[in-house]
């Protein structure tokens, strides 16, 4: 099969160094070691150290490893919510977290915007009695970005809630505020450019305290498999309860190290440059228009364009070996979604632009 380049918003193109890290892992037996061995504990400690630096999280936060962000949604609701949760919903992913709250009987409150519209501080209320507020930093379904200051404002007005920030398609691009963010989580197959099957949550002491108080009140209805409190006990020993995705944890540590070597400011700069190229091109294109028209809410990592020629454009790119996303759900035939992650080179971004720019007849 010819090499194809994935500009889909996840799974997406692998970070350039992943292939060689997989080779090294195979040679050194990473895929066969016991998860109780000292070799594993060293890998775990390395990944956690690198990730804490990359997130910029305070030392007293604990990093926990899950199978997906869907799993993290379930755990947060089970372990930190008994009276109710608040969900800022403006797309398919934020909606799904809210629907998990419904299914688990957690009395979720939905604060809703039309798809394509972002949240501002005027949408924040005081949420008495409710324990958790969910913020989706980058709605990958619609390309709407919510500024990190929003989380800070939620926390300032509601110091007792657990703020849970979905950074699946914005980490490590967005710079988050701590300790205003209690739980920052993401899956590795989007911005981090890794194979799917692993998700990470950085959890604050406050979030553990909320879980602890629910346990003491016998309202902590967690699953026997993963709970925040039990996972923390294992994490403190650089271990997991189950046999984890050892290769995934290994690769995450290596890629985090590579990103730190490159420098987060460089990664942010390149992301901004590529986003500017794509948005300018969309603006100038006769058949296209940015879906998110308020600049502050237009995502830099998932760029969504309304297009009159989705089918034709997807096909033209495919002929060049480039795969972009179509619209999510009901927008399937109306939008192009182009991921702009650290793994995506500027050269390939230009290739997208060149391939889809109509030739002017003078």
Q: Determine, following the binding rule CB under 6 A, whether residue 172 of this chain makes contact with ligand PLP.
A: no
CA–chain centroid gap for 19, Å, is 22
Largest CA distance in the chain: 75
Stretch that binds ligand PLP, among 28-36, 164-172, 286-294, 352-360 (CB under 6 A): 164-172
**Pairwise CA distance, residues 339 & 344, whole Å:** 8
Residue 68 binds ligand PLP, judged by CB under 6 A: yes
Contact flag: residue 313 with ligand PLP (CB under 6 A)? no
How many residues touch ligand PLP under the rule CB under 6 A: the total is: 14
C-beta neighbour count of 96 within 10 angstroms = 17
Of 63-71, 282-290, 318-326, 343-351, the segment contacting ligand PLP by CB under 6 A is: 63-71
Position 140 contacts ligand PLP (CB under 6 A) = yes
- CB of 91 vs ligand PLP, minimal distance in Å: 8
Describe the strand order of the beta sheet including 288-290 as a list of residue ranges.
5-7, 322-326, 335-339, 302-307, 288-290
Query: Coil, strand, or helix at residue 30?
Result: coil
Six-digit token pair at 182? 């209690």
70 binds ligand PLP (CB under 6 A): yes
Cβ at position 74, least distance to ligand PLP in Å: 10
The smaller minimum CB distance to ligand PLP, of residues 131 and 166, is found at 166
Rule CB under 6 A: say whether 169 interacts with ligand PLP. Answer: yes
Q: Closer to ligand PLP at the Cβ: 199 or 251?
A: 199
Q: How far is the C-alpha of 262 from the C-alpha of 254, rounded, in Å?
A: 12
Residue 69 sits in the site that holds ligand PLP (CB under 6 A):
yes
Q: Say whether 218 sits in a helix, a strand or coil.
A: coil
Neighbouring residues of 175: CB distance < 8 A, sequence distance ≥ 6: 56, 148, 268
* Residues forming the site for ligand PLP (CB under 6 A): 10, 68-70, 93, 136, 138, 140, 166, 168-169, 187, 190, 199
């Amino acid at each position: 099969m010819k090499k194809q380049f994935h500009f889909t918003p996840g799974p997406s193109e692998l970070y350039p160094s992943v292939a060689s890290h997989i080779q090294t892992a195979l040679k050194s037996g990473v895929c066969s070691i016991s998860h109780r061995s000292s070799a594993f504990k060293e890998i775990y400690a390395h990944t956690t150290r690198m990730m804490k630096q990359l997130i910029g999280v305070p030392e007293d936060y604990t990093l926990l490893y899950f199978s997906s962000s869907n799993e993290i949604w379930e755990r947060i609701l089970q372990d930190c919510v008994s009276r109710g949760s608040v969900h800022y919903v403006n797309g398919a992913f934020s909606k799904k977290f809210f629907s998990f709250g419904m299914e688990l009987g957690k009395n979720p409150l939905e604060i809703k915007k039309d798809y394509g519209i972002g949240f501002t501080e005027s949408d924040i209320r005081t949420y008495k009695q409710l324990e958790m507020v969910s913020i989706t930093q980058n709605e990958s379904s619609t390309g709407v970005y919510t500024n990190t200051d929003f989380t800070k404002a939620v926390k300032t007005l509601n110091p007792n809630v657990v703020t849970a920030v979905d950074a699946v398609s914005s980490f490590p691009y967005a710079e988050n505020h701590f300790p205003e963010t209690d739980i920052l989580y993401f899956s590795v197959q989007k911005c981090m450019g890794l194979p799917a099957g692993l998700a990470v949550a950085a959890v604050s002491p406050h979030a553990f305290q909320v879980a602890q108080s629910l346990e003491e009140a016998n309202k902590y209805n967690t699953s026997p498999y993963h709970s925040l409190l039990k996972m923390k006990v294992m994490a403190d020993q650089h271990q997991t309860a189950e046999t984890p995705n050892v290769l995934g944890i290994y690769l995450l540590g290596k890629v985090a190290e590579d990103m730190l070597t490159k420098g987060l400011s460089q990664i942010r700069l390149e992301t901004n440059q590529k986003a500017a190229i794509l948005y300018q091109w969309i603006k100038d294109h006769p058949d296209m228009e940015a879906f998110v028209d308020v600049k502050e809410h237009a995502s830099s990592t998932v760029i969504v364009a309304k297009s009159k020629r989705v089918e034709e454009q997807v096909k033209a790119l495919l002929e060049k070996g480039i795969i972009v996303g179509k619209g999510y759900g009901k927008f399937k035939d109306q939008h192009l979604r182009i991921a702009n992650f650290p793994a995506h080179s500027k050269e390939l971004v230009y290739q997208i632009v060149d391939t889809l720019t109509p030739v002017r007849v003078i």
